[in-house]
Amino acid sequence: MHVPEGIRPPELGHLLEIPGAVVGPYRLLDQVGRGGFGTVWRAVREHPFEQQVAVKLIKLGMDSEAVLARFDHERRAMALMDHPGIARAIDGGITDRGRAYFVMEYVDGMPITDFCDRRTLGLHERALLLAQACDAIQHAHQRGFIHRDLKPSNILVRTRDDGSPEVKIIDFGIAKALASSERGMTVTEAGELVGTPEYMSPEQADIDGGTADTRSDVWSLGAVLYELLTGNPPIGSHGDPDTTRASTMRQLREGSVPRPRTRAAGCAAADAAARGTTPQRLAHALRREPEWICMKSLRRSPDERYESAGAFARDLRRWVSGEPVQAGPESVAYRLRAYARTHRTQVAAAVAVLASLVAATATSTWFALRESRARAESEARATETARIAELQSSVLSRIDPAWVGAAIVQDALNRHRDVLVATEPDASVRKPLLATMYKEMIKLNKADIGRDVIDRWIVTPTEKSIDEQLADMPAAASGMRHQVAKRRWVLGQLDAADALARRALGERERLIGPDATATLETVHLLGMITWSRGDAAAAIPLLARARDGRTAALGDRHPDAVESATQHANALAAAGRAAEAVPLLRALLTIQQESFGDASAEAAGAQRDLGAALAQVGAHEEAVTLLRAAWQRRVALIGPNAPGTVATHAMLASSLAKSGARAEAIGMLMDALALMERSHGTRDLLTLSYRTRLGELLLEDGFVDDAVGQLTQARDALLAGFGADHPITRECDALLSRASARRGAVDSGRGSEP
């Protein structure tokens, strides 16, 4: 139906679902989808600002007022989620005819299955796209959210400006808003099933009221993978007239999932062609890893599935890269075959060398064996100590405080819910108790919790065990001391980190020499710790030694040499020698661009460092240009929450302030501070430096009370964690004195008024 220009409600108030109709402040443009909940429209908000959105109109009879109340709660809580792979929930309301509607970020994409089929993507490309979706779901799970209705039409793929595909999850929070209770059985009071049977986990379909948790989403992701690989979902079949909703639900509850290769062998030729192959070849390609991964995600028992969406994503990427997968057998033979696949050149070379050695050893074996006995014990000992240090160092380096804290909070919420479900049969009693628990737990800073747990139960016991258990293995002990020093530095325990790093450095210089790469690694770490303690001048010679040694040993383009050179230049800038740092950082930017490309994350990092130094020498226009480009590139490549991205965000805000754009700078720094608190906690030194800078900007802009609040909070945490002599603590004190003087001047002026 054509809608004449200029017609608005109430003329069209009774004609809701047509182009031009107005729903709340949004004007419908065209329908882009239809599903079990209702219809989805592309729409535009014209006042007070223009914004293109997606509006989902919910079917009549789906408990509109209760649905909207639940959705509003979900929308507020979901504001904590910040991931480029998740479309934002924006608004919601009820029309004058009683229809609930939800408003979401509009994603100009298509369902993941359609995207893959239209581009005839291979199995590996499909797996990598689903891994992106798993990453987004993992982010949501860490913040306490379950999607409950993952299916291809809720996993959209759009093309970025550079031609690369980007996955966006939509409809987060809507399934929970439509659910009648906290139980996994997502059915509204009107009797409408919330979810899609073909992609729903068995516990969600349990008529006795199964409990959905994060592993229910793992099942749904597995069902989408199954369809990406075979052309059909694991339960039911597209286009089969005998497949009904009831039969699908029954099979989900009682039946089993056929193996992907079995389904692929009988798939339509068109489905196989969309994957660039034939049914027979597709069935053969799905043997082993793809089938193992798929079936593990679709186990009937949640305990037997992947423990998280993140683990699912890691296995998909392992399969694509040829590494052994978690879902595979634990046999040595399988692990060796996987290693051979990913190291073909090395294995081929080893085989060739082995063949020549076998032919040549007829007369020399006895002599070689006798000589080898003389050094066997020392080599075995060196190998043993190196492997122990490498293993434990790897474990320590991968522990992320934000992830640990999020896991603890989520586990507490899950256990609280399970206890209530087991002990309180009345859902109306359970719901307010659950809501109160969630409301209180969400206030906790997860990164702070994670930092405390890591320190108390991992880092401190590890440090104590070094002297006790590695006394006769000095190489391993020095390696572990280095890693513990690094973790204490990350946790902000700078005095302890400094002492450990100095001891590790002395041991490594004595054991393996001052120019060994491991020794230089500790020199670099000690330089960074010294800088963090507020003494950039003392850090400069340490970082220069690390730079020179690593460059001589590894070359000036090796990542370790570049890292030391970069931090040496940054330390020069921090010590007030930015004019010396700028040419060094320009040269490093050229190296990163030539090594990784202009659009790489490495080049963006070099742009950030150069931009920060330029801001210090007064080249504000070039600094802002470089920092804005670096920030936007890092957001696109690795997301807005990555520490380097947040640092770039804050540097851009600082440079904007220096150039005179203080209003924009304050908003950006507030955003960066919020991101930093979530990822690193409220007591992290970088977080506190951002809070101090925000207080300074607020003070400069005349918001004295707000500035005092930020600066007082920063100073209290700095005193507790870093002491009164730390430069940032002293800066806070100076700013608070300025604020007090300004407040006194204002009060004095008021007192003199007639």
Last residue of a domain, one of 76, 106, 136: 106
pLDDT, one tens digit per residue, over 241-266 is 556 667 777 788 777 899 999 999 98
Q: Is the pLDDT of residue 173 over 70?
A: no
CA distances (Å), 20 to each of 11, 45, 47, 359, in order? 11, 12, 15, 84
CB 476 within 8 A of CB 386: yes
Does residue 140 sit in the same domain as residue 238? Answer: yes
Task: Kindly report the backbone phi and psi dihedral angles of residue 190, in degrees, each rounded to the nearest multiple of 5, phi listed first.
Answer: -80, 0
Q: How wide is the angle at C-alpha 654 spanned by C-alphas 650 and 659, nearest 5°?
A: 145
pLDDT, one tens digit per residue, over 1-32 is 333 344 344 334 334 678 888 888 899 999 98
- 418, 421, 423, 429: CA torsion to nearest 10: 130
Query: What type of residue is 32?
Result: V
694 in a domain, yes or no?
yes
> CA triplet 625, 629, 633: central angle to 5 degrees?
175
Of the residues 326, 357, 390, which one is the last residue of a structural domain?
Answer: 326
Question: What band does 354 get if pLDDT is binned at 50, 70 and 90?
Answer: very low
Instruction: Concatenate the DSSP letters of all residues of 447-473 into one string.
Output: HHHHHHHHIIIIIHHHHHHHHHHSTT-
User: Tell me, what amino acid is at 539?
Assistant: A
463 domain residue, yes or no? no
User: Cβ neighbours of residue 554 under 8 Å, at least 6 residues apart?
Assistant: 517, 560, 561
Q: What is the pLDDT of residue 343?
A: 43
Helices and strands (H and E) in the chain: how many? 31, 9
Angle in degrees, CA 521, 522, 525, rounded to 5: 95
CA nearest neighbour of 169 among 226, 220, 240, 229: 220
Residue 681 and residue 696: Cα distance in Å, rounded? 21
The answer on 303 and 158 residing in a single domain is yes
Predicted structure pTM score? 0.46
pLDDT score, position 63? 52
Last residue of a domain, one of 306, 326, 346: 326
Question: Residue 243 has what pLDDT?
Answer: 61
Report residue 679's pLDDT band, with 50, 70 and 90 as the boundaries. low
Among residues 149, 217, 448, 684, the one annotated as catalytic is 149
Contact 599, 162 (CB under 8 A): yes
Classified as helix, coil or strand, 668 is helix
State the burial class of residue 398 (Cβ atoms within 10 Å of its Cβ: 0-12, 13-18, 19+): exposed
pLDDT over 90, % of the chain:
33
Same domain, 196 and 84: no
Burial, 659: exposed, middle or buried (Cβ in 10 Å; 0-12, 13-18, 19+)? middle
Q: Are residues 135 and 90 in the same domain?
A: no
What does the pLDDT look like over 431-463, one tens digit per residue? 888 778 777 776 676 667 776 777 777 777 777
Does pLDDT of 417 surpass 80?
A: no
Q: How far is CA 322 from CA 116, 273, 285, 445, 557, in A?
A: 21, 24, 14, 38, 28
CATH number, residue 216: 1.10.510.10
Is 400 annotated as catalytic?
no
Q: What token pair was written down for 743?
A: 């407040």
Cβ proximity of 657 and 697 under 8 Å: yes
Which 8-state DSSP code applies to residue 12?
A: T
| Structure tokens, 574 | 């921090």
185 and 295 fall within a common domain? yes
Higher pLDDT, 409 or 326: 326
Kindly report the CATH number assigned to the domain that includes residue 701: 1.25.40
The reply to whether 49 and 124 lie within a common domain is no
Count of domains forming the chain: 3
- Arithmetic mean of pLDDT over the chain: 78
- Judge whether 120 lies within some domain: yes
Residues 77 and 47 in one domain: yes
SS3 121: coil
Closest-CA residue to 588 (of 572, 541, 686, 523) = 572
Q: Note down the domain range covering 23.
A: 1-106
The DSSP call for residue 99 is -
- Asked if residue 12 belongs to a domain, the reply is yes
pLDDT in tens, 274-291: 998 999 999 999 988 999
Could you give phi then psi for residue 405, rounded to 5 degrees? -60, -45
| Cα distance between residue 582 and residue 215, in whole Å | 50
For the chain, percent of residues with pLDDT exceeding 70? 76
Tokens of residue 541, six digits: 């010679």
Among 190-204, 482-496, 528-542, 610-624, which stretch is predicted with the lowest mean pLDDT?
190-204
Q: Are both 96 and 150 inside the same structural domain?
A: no
Residue 280 domain-assigned (yes or no): yes
If asked whether residues 320 and 301 sit together in one domain, one would say yes
Residue 15: predicted pLDDT:
45
How far is Cα 170 from Cα 56, in angstroms, rounded to an integer? 11
pLDDT digit string, tens, across residues 371-416: 444 344 444 444 444 555 555 545 555 556 666 666 677 777 777 7
Q: Which residue has tokens 């040829």?
A: 322
Q: 214 and 322 share a domain? A: yes
585 within domain boundaries: no
pLDDT in tens, 72-89: 555 555 556 778 899 887
Beta pairing partners, 83:
none
Q: What is the pLDDT of residue 40?
A: 87
10 is a domain residue:
yes
Domain-embedded: residue 292: yes
Residues 100 and 177 in one domain: no
Same domain, 102 and 122: no
Q: Is 268 helix (H, G, I), strand (E, B) or coil?
A: coil
Query: What CATH number does the domain containing 5 carry?
Result: 3.30.200.20
| Residue 290 CB-density burial (10 A; 0-12 exposed, 13-18 middle, 19+ buried) | buried
Look at phi and psi of residue 676 and say left if phi exceeds 0, alpha if psi is from -120 to 50, else beta. alpha
